[in-house]
Amino acid sequence: MWASIKETVKTVVYALLIAGVFRTFLFQPFWIPSGSMKETLLVGDFLFVNKMAYGYSYASCPSIIIPAVGLDVDAEDFCGVFKGGNDRLFGSEPERGDVVVFRHPVTGRDFIKRLIGMPGDTVQIVDGKIILNGEEVPQSDASLFTEPFVRRGQPPNFPVCSNGTVPIGEDCIKQRLTETLPNGVSYSVLNVGDRPLDNTGIFTVPEGQYFFMGDNRDNSSDSRRPQRSGGVGFVPYEDIVGRADRIMFSSSGRSLLAFWTWRSDRYFMAIE
């Protein structure tokens, strides 16, 4: 009996060690809880973050957050002793246009946004368009983006629509634009209308830090708003977790386990 218990404990310990190595050095699972990256990423998308893409820092250590049991242990709790140098082991620089997961520099919570500004860049938003190093990033009109007006995400929220507040379940419409960065990376961005963050001052990205924006421009907390005002601000190199490369599957329901709500067109879809 005791031998059986011992073997069971050993199996569990080995499994936890393997899972810990997998999450620390290779890939971290990530569920999209909000609509800030529509239409590139939808609420309910499940993906793995490639931690090998940019090397390793304290932020590469796993976070374990289970609100139901009051468990909240993040990367800084595990590996905070390594924080502060703003460097990385086997580090490489992310590329403009990458979709990146990073730790919020103040709260420590994981965010996912698109990398727009590199160290030394100047970034300004004028009438909803990015002015990057003095040059306007081109946008071209695409077809309208339509989704049902229902609550989604954690916490559940209704989407913001350019056609106003519509009845629950009816079409919520946004303008869709194709934006192309100087290095040729193109992706869709969504626009609702005139919003305060459609016009900003000029941001100069410090060395060793980055400027991020959500693709759903009028529903994103990102580097356009400073940390003291509840935004993200500039993100240090060491706070980057990894690159989002591919969606594994996607659920349109309230739970990832509700397999009957999985979106059939998003299995193993590349993130661009």
User: How far apart, in Å, are the Cα atoms of 29 and each of 15, 69, 243, 244, 269?
Assistant: 17, 20, 12, 10, 15
Task: Give the C-alpha separation, 217 to 128, whole Å.
Answer: 8
Question: HSE of 46 in the Cβ direction (CA atoms, 13 Å)?
Answer: 16
Which has more pLDDT, 243 or 153? 243
Rounded mean pLDDT, 67-81: 77
Query: What fold, for 2-270?
Result: Umud Fragment, subunit A (2.10.109)
Confidence band of 17 (pLDDT split at 50, 70, 90): very low
**Domain locations in the chain?**
2-270
User: According to the model, what pLDDT value does residue 119 have?
Assistant: 98
In tens, the pLDDT along 148-160 reads: 999 988 888 899 8
In tens, the pLDDT along 220-238 reads: 999 999 998 889 999 999 9
pTM (two decimals): 0.88
Least confident of 124-128, 156-160, 240-244, 267-271: 156-160
- The per-residue pLDDT of the chain, averaged, comes to 88
Neighbouring CB atoms inside 10 A of 129's CB total 18
3-state SS record for 30-97: EECCCCCCCCCCCCCEEEEEECCCCCECHHHCCCEEEHHHCEEECHHHHHHHHCCCCCCECCCCCCCC
**pLDDT at position 199 over 90:** yes
In tens, the pLDDT along 131-140 reads: 999 999 999 9
Task: Give the C-alpha separation, 118 to 96, whole Å.
Answer: 7
In tens, the pLDDT along 92-133 reads: 999 999 999 999 998 889 999 999 999 999 999 999 999 999
Element (H, E) at 20: helix 2-21
User: How far apart, in Å, are the Cα atoms of 111 and each of 11, 115, 231, 246?
Assistant: 34, 12, 11, 16
Which residues participate in catalysis according to the annotation? 36, 113
Instruction: Return left, alpha or beta for 255; rule: phi > 0 is left, psi -120 to 50 is alpha, else beta.
Output: beta
Highest mean predicted confidence (pLDDT) among 14-18, 87-91, 159-163, 176-180: 176-180
